[in-house]
Amino acid sequence: MMANFGFGEKWLNWIKTCISTTRLSVLVNRSPTEEFSPEKGLRQGDPLSPFPFIIVAKGLNLLLSRAKDKDLIKGALVGSQEVSISHIQFADDIIILCEADEEEILSIKRILRCFEIFSCLKINFHKSCLWNWGRR
């Protein structure tokens, strides 16, 4: 993913080293387990963690923006000047604005599934909600 955004080999190797040379231990009943190497992902609380996440989140932003450009999702008209907005992202939260249309909702679900596949992140649909508001 980072290579697709134009990061050089040297920078990619730095990130790989930071992730792959890590050893972790877990407290179980207040006692540490044996150390192990994580298989994937970043450590919570690591000062480096937000940067790769932001790069991956940018991928979701691009997927949704391209879908809007191709009229797969319409977005919503907001404000007195009726600006069309399809999504708003902040940290690990996203608000996706669309019409209450079955085809558009299916398009969004496909986009989110593609994002799960290429990012190796899991979207928790049980923590998600769908609201309908606006003109009828």
Tens digits of per-residue pLDDT, 2-24? 677 677 888 778 777 766 667 77
44 pLDDT above the threshold of 80? no
70 pLDDT above the threshold of 90? yes
**In the chain, where the domains are located:** 1-39, 46-128
136 pLDDT above the threshold of 60? no
Tens digits of per-residue pLDDT, 80-90? 988 888 899 88
43 pLDDT above the threshold of 70? no
Who has greater pLDDT, 34 or 130?
A: 34
135 pLDDT above the threshold of 60? no
132 φψ region: left (φ > 0), alpha (ψ -120 to 50), beta (else)? beta
Rounded distance, CA 113 to CA 83, Å? Answer: 27
Distance of CA 89 to the CA centre of its chain: 9
